[in-house]
Amino acid sequence: MIQMFNVSKTYPNGVQALANVNVRIQKGSFVFLVGPSGAGKSTFIKLLFREETPTEGQIIFNGRSLVRMREKEVPQLRRQMGVVFQDFRLLPQKTVYDNVAFAMEVVESPGKMIRYRVPQVLEMVGLEKKANLYPHQLSGGEQQRVSIARAIVNEPALIIADEPTGNLDPQTATDIMDLLLQINRRGTTIIMATHARDIVDALRQRVIAIEGGQIVRDEERGSYKDER
């Protein structure tokens, strides 16, 4: 689903965030992206989302080059991706229902489909009874569930999660991981950047470790730190 060939990214200020990255991520996989602050994880994610373009190399997503892609094709690309952030990024003036529905309105889904699909995903994340509340009326874990519902509502092929448990207590973080694993089991590819050592070590998924802009470790059933 994703291939990066000799990808490097140097920002205009001269900082090299990624250097010669080669990676291949299969459809349906679950990948943890780990590494210290400033390692290049966010840049990696931004390249996938086409928020940034590499200064060198090639990125292929579902057979399409993200490097050669024209600006007007980017919205269509992003429809195939859902993004979950550490700080949720919900719309504070909209209810839970409307936060999720909005993601479908943006891609011009018919009203009938929205009214069918939104309750369905709210049920999946366990928030059907909170549809009419506003984000500030929810706990952190519930807000993250809304943001996951919003990310999956258009049935994307890929979920990109940037520190999704960073603001949550351990039990809530575990619940959110269960939800992400459940989504992954339904066939959605998930790439998750995280500092949550306990979670990475408990789940034993593929771990790609980035340091100084390079992939320093890539293990199929990996751990947070190198165990060799």
81-85 β-sheet, strand order = 81-85, 158-162, 189-193, 30-34, 206-211, 214-219
Please, which of residues 39-58 interact with ligand ADP by CB under 6 A? 39-43
Binding of ligand ADP at residue 216 (CB under 6 A)? Answer: no
Binding of ligand ADP at residue 8 (CB under 6 A)? Answer: no
The residue from 27, 38, 115, 198 that contacts ligand ADP (CB under 6 A) is 38
- The Cα–Cα gap between 98 and 91 comes to 9
Region from 33-41, 53-61, 83-91, 214-222 binding ligand ADP, contact rule CB under 6 A: 33-41
Binding of ligand ADP at residue 175 (CB under 6 A)? Answer: no
Query: Whose Cβ is closer to ligand ADP: residue 118's or residue 142's?
Result: 142
**Tokens linked to 21:** 């990255």
Query: Whose Cβ is closer to ligand ADP: residue 23's or residue 109's?
Result: 23
The residue from 25, 31, 32, 35 that contacts ligand ADP (CB under 6 A) is 35
Binding of ligand ADP at residue 142 (CB under 6 A)? Answer: yes
Q: Are 74 and 50 in contact (CB under 8 A)?
A: yes
The residue from 2, 47, 138, 173 that contacts ligand ADP (CB under 6 A) is 138
Q: Which residues contact 25 (CB under 8 A, 6 or more apart)?
A: 1, 2, 3, 31, 189, 191
Q: How many residues bind ligand ADP (CB under 6 A)?
A: 20
**Tokens linked to 226:** 């190198």
Binding of ligand ADP at residue 135 (CB under 6 A)? Answer: no
Handedness of CA 143, 100, 153, 50 (dihedral sign): negative
> What sections of the chain are H helices per DSSP?
41-48, 74-78, 96-106, 111-124, 140-152, 170-185, 197-203
Query: Whose Cβ is closer to ligand ADP: residue 9's or residue 114's?
Result: 9
Binding of ligand ADP at residue 137 (CB under 6 A)? Answer: yes
Query: Whose Cβ is closer to ligand ADP: residue 58's or residue 172's?
Result: 172
Kind plus residue range of the DSSP H or E element containing 206: strand 206-211
The residue from 133, 166, 174, 211 that contacts ligand ADP (CB under 6 A) is 133
Task: Please state the closest distance from residue 198 (CB atom) to ligand ADP, in A.
Answer: 19
With H, G, I as helix, E, B as strand and everything else as coil, classify residue 88.
coil
- Which residue type occupies 35? G
Binding site for ligand ADP (CB under 6 A): 11, 13, 15, 17, 35, 37-43, 130, 133, 137-142
